[in-house]
């Protein structure tokens, strides 16, 4: 399964895999070596060996541009909440986003939800069994349809993600370039290597082959330091670690500050959240702690510092607590409009579509699980409900 960001570019935007050329190596020998290794070394991942196309679909969407470790954390929980396509289709979107919280790239969750609704209402709840038909569903690109068709339905179609692309370029001695010619070459090579038909003793030759290719890239043919001496196809490789690799993208650093404001409301505890604009280009409609401008922070000490990475940006995050009347200025520094701010019960946070960073901060500060009598005193306002927030209440 894939776990690197290049995958979408390499697959979903690619042309359908109709070109089958001669592979630049003995395909039968390559497949045999690869599968022998895969059977003995494949990681035991929760979506492997499942025979439910819906589950395969969920795992493939989650794995796009997301580390396997993060997906493992969310996959079972998501399926417990939405065990069937119908359950997913009937759920309100905020619930789907809440279950997705922490995986990032929330458009994937919205499109998955939209496609589940479409399959339920238009296709009698049955996921199509071919890559061509799958491709017509909302949000399913070239990679995802090939992955579901081969892994769940056994179709003989190559799956090309960033891992597979890297493996094939190194095997054949091509430079790791992000060009149309390079992608066309990789697609053709991948198509030439995938088994054409089911092999009697194998349950799903194409699906297993595709997963083995992705596994090889994810665990052996690593982007920066490939483990060539452990590679099952070392003898067939033209580069064996002597490849040219594109320079790593520059990391940017950005400061970010947020307000933690809590209050008691009867026996409950509430935290102030801000809903991002539905028109925001990133994470529209999601909830986060209210951002604070840097000039409001002077002379104050944060209650939490952490680093949060999103693609090529490292956010150096500081969280400030509004502790009572003396911090009214801090609360008033929040630039959000009144209508975007919401007091939310802490015991309901698990069903709120929080941004990954907000979830991380609230978990780090034990706010997610806080019960009223266990609140950290320094973070609770002394003022009563509905009176202290002034312009933002
Ligand atoms: S020998 Fe090294 S570079 Fe070649 S495919 Fe194997 S891991 Fe990748």
Q: Which residue of 221, 222, 230, 243 sits with most ligand 1 atoms within 8 Å of its CB, as the best mutation to test the pocket?
A: 221
Which domains can be identified in the chain, with CATH numbers? 6-236 (1.10.340.30), 252-392 (3.90.79.10)
- The CA distance from 225 to 242, in Å, is 10
Q: Cβ distance 327 to 259 under 8 Å?
A: no
Can you list the residues of the chain whose pLDDT is less than 50?
1-18, 200, 371-393
Helix (H, G, I), strand (E, B) or coil at 108: helix
Q: Please tell me the predicted confidence (pLDDT) of residue 66.
A: 86
Give nearest CA residue, ligand 1 atom 4: 240
From the candidates 60, 155, 270, 288, give the one annotated as an active-site residue. Answer: 60
Q: Which residue of 25, 33, 176, 226 sits with most ligand 1 atoms within 8 Å of its CB, as the best mutation to test the pocket?
A: 226
CB of residue 166 inside a 6 A radius of ligand 1: no
Query: Whose CA is closest to 354, among 102, 112, 88, 114?
Result: 102
Q: Is 17 exposed, middle or buried (0-12, 13-18, 19+ CB in 10 A)?
A: buried
CB of residue 239 inside a 6 A radius of ligand 1: yes
Model pTM score: 0.74
Q: Cβ distance 137 to 119 under 8 Å?
A: yes
Q: Please tell me the predicted confidence (pLDDT) of residue 21.
A: 61
Q: Please tell me the predicted confidence (pLDDT) of residue 369.
A: 64
Q: Please tell me the predicted confidence (pLDDT) of residue 199.
A: 52
CB of residue 216 inside a 6 A radius of ligand 1: no
Helix (H, G, I), strand (E, B) or coil at 175: coil
CB of residue 236 inside a 6 A radius of ligand 1: no
- The CA distance from 119 to 60, in Å, is 17
The beta-strand segments (E) located in the chain are 252-260, 262-265, 268-275, 287-288, 304-310, 313-321, 341-345
Is 22 among the catalytic positions?
no
């Amino acid at each position: 399964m894939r776990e690197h960001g290049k995958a979408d570019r390499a697959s979903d935007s690619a042309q359908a895999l109709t070109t089958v050329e001669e592979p630049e190596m003995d395909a039968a020998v390559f497949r045999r070596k690869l599968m022998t290794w895969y059977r003995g070394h494949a990681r035991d991942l929760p979506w492997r060996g499942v025979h439910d196309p819906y589950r395969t679909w969920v795992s493939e969407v989650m794995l796009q541009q997301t580390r396997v470790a993060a997906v493992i954390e969310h996959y079972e929980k998501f399926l417990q909440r939405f065990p069937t396509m119908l359950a997913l289709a009937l759920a309100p979107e905020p619930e789907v986003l809440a279950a997705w919280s922490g995986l990032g790239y929330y458009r994937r969750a919205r499109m998955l939800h939209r496609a589940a609704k479409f399959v339920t209402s238009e296709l009698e709840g049955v996921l199509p069994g071919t890559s061509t038909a799958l491709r017509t569903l909302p949000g399913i690109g070239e990679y995802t349809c090939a992955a579901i068709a081969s892994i769940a339905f056994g179709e003989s179609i190559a799956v090309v993600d960033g891992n597979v692309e890297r493996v094939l370029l190194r095997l054949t001695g091509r430079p790791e370039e992000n060009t149309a010619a390079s992608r066309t070459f990789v697609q053709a090579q991948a198509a030439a290597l995938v088994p054409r038909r089911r092999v009697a003793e194998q349950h799903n030759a194409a699906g297993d082959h595709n997963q083995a290719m992705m596994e090889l890239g994810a665990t052996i043919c690593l982007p920066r330091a490939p483990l060539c001496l452990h590679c099952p196809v070392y003898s067939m490789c033209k580069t064996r670690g002597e490849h040219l690799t594109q320079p790593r993208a520059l990391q940017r650093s950005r400061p970010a500050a947020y307000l933690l404001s809590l209050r008691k409301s009867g026996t409950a505890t509430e935290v102030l959240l801000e809903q991002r604009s539905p028109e925001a280009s990133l994470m529209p409609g999601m909830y986060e702690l209210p951002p604070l401008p840097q000039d409001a922070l002077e002379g104050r000490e944060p209650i939490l510092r952490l680093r949060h990475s999103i693609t090529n940006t490292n956010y150096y995050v500081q969280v400030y607590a509004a502790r009572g009347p003396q911090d009214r200025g801090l609360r008033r520094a929040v630039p959000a409009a009144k209508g975007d701010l919401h007091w939310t019960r802490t015991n309901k946070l698990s069903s709120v579509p929080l941004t990954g960073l907000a979830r991380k901060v609230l978990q780090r500060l034990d706010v997610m699980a806080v019960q009223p009598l266990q609140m950290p005193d320094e973070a609770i306002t002394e003022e009563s409900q509905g009176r202290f927030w002034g312009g933002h209440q």
